[in-house]
Amino acid sequence: MAIDSIDNHLGKAREFDRAAVPLGMYVAWCVNLGLVSDAVLAEHERMVLRVRMHDAQGSELLTAMGGELNDAHLNSRGKEFTDGYYAGYLQDYAELFGEHFYETEDNWDNYMKLTAVLTPKLLGPKLRAQWPIDTNKLRGAIKKRWQQLWH
């Protein structure tokens, strides 16, 4: 079953690349939190790795997945969370980036801002007190790991 697609956003975004950003960031977050299915990991292995290493945007992976996020793209935890939360995701996205959220730049700085909203919702009340983490420290660790892999 389709959860959302780029097509649902084209009317307001007016451009394909802009329409892919909100859902693409959600897909990237799902990848980075281990919420995607084994099928996505197998079929899009290189792109998933690039998203994890912040070398490709979630919108690129979303496009490779046919421009749609559906139940088959998520593992059981991802489905459970998305079923209970996704209806409020675009509202949270709009509150974070403003009413012109289709103009939000598709970059990792904005992704990190969104992560600070999404991750506590996934972790639940006990772990929310430990969030937000220092996103600059996290970015540094990701860059360091990426450099280690390629050198």
- Measured in whole angstroms, how far is the alpha carbon of residue 43 from the centre of its chain? 18
The β-bridge relationship of strands 2-5 and 68-70 is: antiparallel
Please give the pLDDT value at position 99. Answer: 76
Please give the pLDDT value at position 36. Answer: 97
Determine the structural domain holding residue 113 and report its residue range.
Answer: 2-150
Across all residues in the chain, what is the average pLDDT?
88
Please give the pLDDT value at position 134. Answer: 57
Q: Distance (Å, rounded) from C-alpha 54 to C-alpha 56?
A: 6
Helix axes 108-123, 16-32, angle to 10 degrees: 50
If you ran DSSP here, which 8-state letter would residue 42 be given? H
Total domains in the fold of the chain? 1
If you ran DSSP here, which 8-state letter would residue 73 be given? G
pTM: 0.83
pLDDT tens digits along 134-148: 555 656 666 666 566
pLDDT tens digits along 64-108: 999 999 999 999 999 999 999 999 999 999 999 997 889 999 999
pLDDT tens digits along 23-40: 999 999 999 999 999 999
Place of tokens 């070398």: 55
CA distances to 35, 36, 57, 111, 145 from 79, in Å? 8, 9, 22, 21, 29
